Amino acid sequence: MASTKAPASSGGVNGPGRAAIGVRTLREDRWWLTPLTTFVVFSAFIVYATWRAFANADYYAEPYLSPFYSPCLGDCVKGSSDFGQPLDWFPLSAALIILIFPLGFRLTCYYYRKAYYRSFWLSPPACAVAEPHTKYTGETRLPLILNNIHRYFWYAAIAVGLILTWDTLLTFQDVNGGRVGLGSLIFVVNVTFIWLYTLSCHSCRHAVGGRLRHFSEHPVRYRLWTWVSRINVHHAKFAWYSLFSVAFADLYVMLLANGTITETRFF
Ligand code: FES
C-alpha cells in the first residue's frame, strides 16, 4: 500500500519538480510591508518586555499589579502578592517565574507562528515569494516541534486570564472602599482583549467542539463551538490588540510606580 506520508522536501523552491522561475517573485505589490511591519513591532515588544521582565522594579502601584508580574510569586513588594510568595527564594526577577506561560502561549500560537515564520524566518516572507532556505523540515524536530504543545499552553492561559481578571477586579477597591481610576479602565480593556485572544484560540475551538460526530447530541458544546468560531476569525486582530494592551497596562503601572504620572480618579 502506498504511503500517505508527505515526503520531506529538499531543495526548497529550487527543488526538483518546482517551476524554474528566474526571479524571487512575480508579485509587484508591496508584499514586504506586512512582514517588515510585523518584524519591527514584534522586535520592539520583545525589547520592551525583556527590559521590563528583568527590571524587577516599578511593577506595583497600589492597587495595580503589572500583568507582566502577575501572579507575583517571588520576593515581591509588599501588597503585590495575592497568592502568597511560595517562590520567595527565587534570586531573579519575579516576572521570570511566570513568563513562560504567556510567552509559550504566544510563541506556539498558530497566528503568531505564521507571523514570525514570515517576518523573522522568511519562510516564506509572503505568498508566492521564494524563501531563502534550501530545506524544509516543518515542525518535525526541535525546536519547532515544541509548537505542537500549544493546547497545553492554552490550559495555562485560561488560568492566567482568570488571575488577570482577579487583578482587574481588585483595582476597583482600595482601603476606603470602591474606586474607579484610569488604570482600572486600562486593566478592563487589557483583560477583555486577553480573554478575546485566549477564547478565540484554535485550540479552544477544538477543545469545545472538536472530535464530535453529531453536534445535535451535544447542544451545549455546539453552542460554545459556534460562539468560539465567530470570534476565531478575528484571532489575529486579538493577538495584536492584546499584545499592545498588555504592554500599555504594564507601562501605565510603571509610570505610576516610579512617580512619572499620578492616577486620574473618576470615583
Ligand atoms: Fe493563537 Fe491558540 S491559536 S492562541
**Residue from 196, 199, 203 whose mutation best tests the ligand 1 pocket (most atoms within 8 A of CB):** 203
pLDDT on residue 15: 75
Mean pLDDT calculated for residue range 56-80 = 97
Angle formed by the axes of helices 235-257 and 182-199, to 10°? 150
Average pLDDT, the chain: 92
Q: Ligand 1 centre and the CA of 151: distance in Å?
A: 8
Distance from the CA of 208 to the center of ligand 1, in angstroms?
14
Mutate to test the pocket of ligand 1, among 155, 200, 232 (most ligand atoms within 8 A of CB): 200
Q: What is the pLDDT of residue 11?
A: 61
- Residue 197 pLDDT level (bands cut at 50, 70, 90): very high
Q: How confident is the model at residue 22 (pLDDT cuts 50, 70, 90)?
A: confident
Q: What's the pLDDT at 7?
A: 46
180-195 residue pLDDT tens: 999 999 999 999 999 9
**pLDDT beyond 50 at 3:** no
pLDDT(160) > 50: yes
Centre of ligand 1 to C-alpha 12, Å, is 28
Distance, CA 16 to ligand 1 centroid (Å)?
A: 34
Q: Please give the share of the chain, as a percent, with pLDDT higher than 90.
A: 81
The string of pLDDT tens digits covering residues 92-145 is 999 999 999 999 999 999 999 999 999 999 989 999 998 888 877 888 888 889
Model pTM score = 0.91
**Ramachandran angles phi, psi of 124, nearest 5°:** -90, 165
Ligand 1 pocket, Cβ-based, cut-off 6 angstroms: 109-111, 150, 154, 201-203, 235
What's the confidence (pLDDT) of residue 267?
A: 86
